[in-house]
Amino acid sequence: MQPTLRQDDFMERAMRTWGSTVYRLALNQTQSPHDAEDICQDVFLRLLKDATAFKDDEHLKAWLLCVAINRCRDLHRSAWKRRAELTDAVPDAGREDPRSDDAARALQDSELGRALGRLPDKMRLIVHLHYYEGFSTEEIARLVHCAPATVRSRLSRARTQLGKMLGKGGHPLKRTGQSPEQDQYRALMDDIEMPGRVHDRVMREAHRLRTAEAVHAKPTRRPRTCNQSGYRTRRFVTAVIAAACVLALASGVAFAISQQLDNATAKNSFALDAGTDDFGYGGFTKVWRSDPEIDPNNADNAPDSGQRYLSVAHLFDLSCTGTNVASLTYTVEGDRVLFYTNARMPEFSYQEGDDPYTEDRTTSFTVNYDEQNANKTEIWHALRVSFPLEGEVAELYDATTGEFYGDRRKWDVNMHENLNALLIRKYADMIAQARLKVTATYDDGTTETKTYVITPVDNLEETLRAYGEALRAQAAEEEANPGPTEPIARPQLFRFTQID
């Protein structure tokens, strides 16, 4: 059976060869070193889990760039922001990389970099792919899924706009040959490399996923009942009949046993099985300008009410085991609590430039039993709460957000952890008042529902803070003494207790 995760040597080589290529493109598109790091990390984590058989290095490069382009588009369109400190409780963990950080800042501070930053995203992308990566217009067209004529048109408009912004009479970027601006852009980009901390995060996550995969392997097929395994039953009956020919005295007993096995049907059953220990990690936040509970699926377009609201969501990656289960429906009942579902549409169903994801905010969702382990890059669920953003939470949220997108290389860890503590406590208090109902629909059409209460562990904030301190200590040790280390086990933050 093919392994579900790529090997470390493959990942090391891919990041060493193409990591900076992906990071430069992400920086070109996001104009933010922090967002570029997030995208670069996401791209290589997707590679870790992907099973594509690459023909050669150029095939791998094209695949990585395509994924990076799509992730940049997703970031531009989505108001949801992944907050690393909510997920990992370890802001800015990883080695410092001042050379790459300074090079990225030098690009953004240059006159050419500022001019490029004012170009539309699509033009800036094609400028980078053509003048830095050296792709032809036909190759770029395949990467961005548009006609070659569209690429040439965008390049022409980009040259004209750059000429105006830089005060040049003609085009600062030539169709053929070199120009001072092209040389400057190449020189600035050449100094930019993928920060080493991105590599460290990817490899730590790879190690964690392999450990979790080995310990928490989930079944992907329903357990077979006797009458679903006709071949095995027939072999058993044949053996019984053969034995009966030799032992006539036992023939009646053997025949009765075989009849019972043929007619037996396993009892319908299910149980919440996996994912509860990891609940509370994988955090996202989103700020609204009006109450998102009024019309959850249209809240993005609601007018500004003058009151900000904050949504906090955590990945909901639970699964069940059972017998004869066809599907499972998860329903949450509570004030200002619902599920957030993000699903990627099939490629043929949207055009270049369209948002490839659908978003639904509902109180329930259903998944087929055999599809519980679906690719999480294609569909994922989160359990979210929302509340007015005010008081100390608002002050800390605004301060940490400003710091995240600012120029500071070091984060105020204490400030981030104080915000973590407030958010996880608010989330826990609201979730504890809700009820989670899990309904199994069996193959025979009958259903069974179980109700759970989700409560935080004792000393929730202290547990999360201690985990963050352990991660930072390990990161510092890895920086001082590079080498493989055992991942730190995530402490359980919430308990799921059946109440009916």
Model confidence pLDDT, tens digit, residues 42-65: 899 989 988 888 888 989 999 999
Q: What is the mean pLDDT of residues 449-466?
A: 94
What letters, b where the CB count within 10 A reaches 16 and e where it falls short, cover 305-320? eeebbbbbbbbbbbbb
Q: Are 444 and 458 in contact (CB under 8 A)?
A: no
Residue 84 has pLDDT above 50, yes or no: no
Instruction: Give 253-268 pLDDT, tens digit per residue.
Output: 444 444 454 445 679 9
How far is the C-alpha of 207 from the C-alpha of 352, rounded, in Å?
A: 35
| Residues in Cβ contact with 84 at an 8 Å cutoff, skipping those fewer than 6 apart | 38, 90, 91
pLDDT of residue 340: 87
Q: According to the model, what pLDDT value does residue 439 have?
A: 96
Q: Reply yes or no on whether the pLDDT at 403 is more than 90.
A: no
One-letter amino acid of 113: G
Which pLDDT does position 478 carry in this prediction?
75
* Structure tokens belonging to residue 108: 């953004």
Packing angle, helices 121-131 and 148-165, rounded to 10: 100
Q: Hunting for tokens 């490069």 — which residue is that? A: 61
Q: How far apart are CA 443 and CA 220, in angstroms?
A: 17
d(CA 283, CA 263): 49
Q: Which residue has the tokens 């005295």?
A: 249
DSSP, res 83: -
Q: Which residues contact 116 (CB under 8 A, 6 or more apart)?
A: 28, 124, 127, 162, 185
Dist. CA 72–CA 74, nearest whole Å:
5
Q: In the structure, what pLDDT confidence band is assigned to residue 488 with cuts at 50, 70 and 90?
A: confident
Gyration radius of the chain's alpha carbons: 27
Q: Do 202 and 44 form a contact (C-beta atoms < 8 A)?
A: yes
pLDDT for the residue numbered 19? 94
> Which amino acid, residue 6?
R
499 Cβ contact partners less than 8 Å away, ≥ 6 residues apart: 435, 451, 452, 453
pLDDT digit string, tens, across residues 202-249: 998 888 887 766 655 544 444 433 344 343 333 333 443 344 344 344
Whether the predicted model's global pTM rises above the 0.75 cut? no
In the structure, what pLDDT confidence band is assigned to residue 275 with cuts at 50, 70 and 90?
low
pLDDT, position 163: 83
Q: Which whole-number Å values give the CA distances from 47 to 12, 186, 441, 452, in the listed order?
A: 12, 27, 35, 36
Largest CA distance in the chain: 106
pLDDT-derived band of residue 173, with 50, 70 and 90 as boundaries?
low
Q: Note the Cα 465 to chain centre separation in Å.
A: 23
Out of 22-31, 86-95, 356-365, give the one with best mean pLDDT: 22-31
Reading the block at residue 75, the tokens are 């970031």
Q: Chain-centre distance of CA 51, in angstroms?
A: 17
Is residue 284 within a helix (H) or strand (E), and if so which, with residue range?
strand 283-288
- Nearby residues of 44 by Cβ (< 8 Å), 6 or more positions away: 11, 14, 15, 19, 22, 198, 202
On average, the pLDDT of the chain sits at 78
CA-to-CA dists, residue 438 to 200, 220, 277, 368, 401, angstroms: 38, 19, 17, 13, 36
The pLDDT of residue 168 is above 70 = no
pLDDT at 355: 53
Q: Residue 179 corresponds to which amino acid?
A: S
CB–CB of 199/478 below 8 Å? no
Lowest mean per-residue pLDDT among 89-93, 348-352, 437-441:
89-93
Per-residue model confidence (pLDDT) at position 347: 59
Least confident of 9-23, 100-114, 188-202, 222-236: 222-236
Helix ranges (H only) for 264-412 are 391-404
Query: Which residues contact residue 307 at a Cβ distance below 8 angstroms, ignoring those fewer than 6 apart?
Result: 290, 291, 388
The residue type at 462: E
> Could you tell me the sign of the dihedral formed by the alpha carbons of 455, 461, 464, 470, in that order?
negative
295-303 average pLDDT score: 71
Helix H or strand E encompassing 478: helix 460-480
More confident of the two residues 77 and 41: 41
Query: Nearest-CA neighbor of 277 among 38, 458, 116, 494?
Result: 494
Give the separation between CA 307 and CA 484, rounded to whole angstroms: 48
168-197 b/e (C-beta count within 10 Å ≥ 16 → b)? eeebbbeeeeeeebbebbeebbeebbbbbb
Note the pLDDT of residue 107.
84
d(CA 481, CA 492): 29
pLDDT at residue 271, rounded to an integer = 92
- H or E stretch at 449: strand 447-456
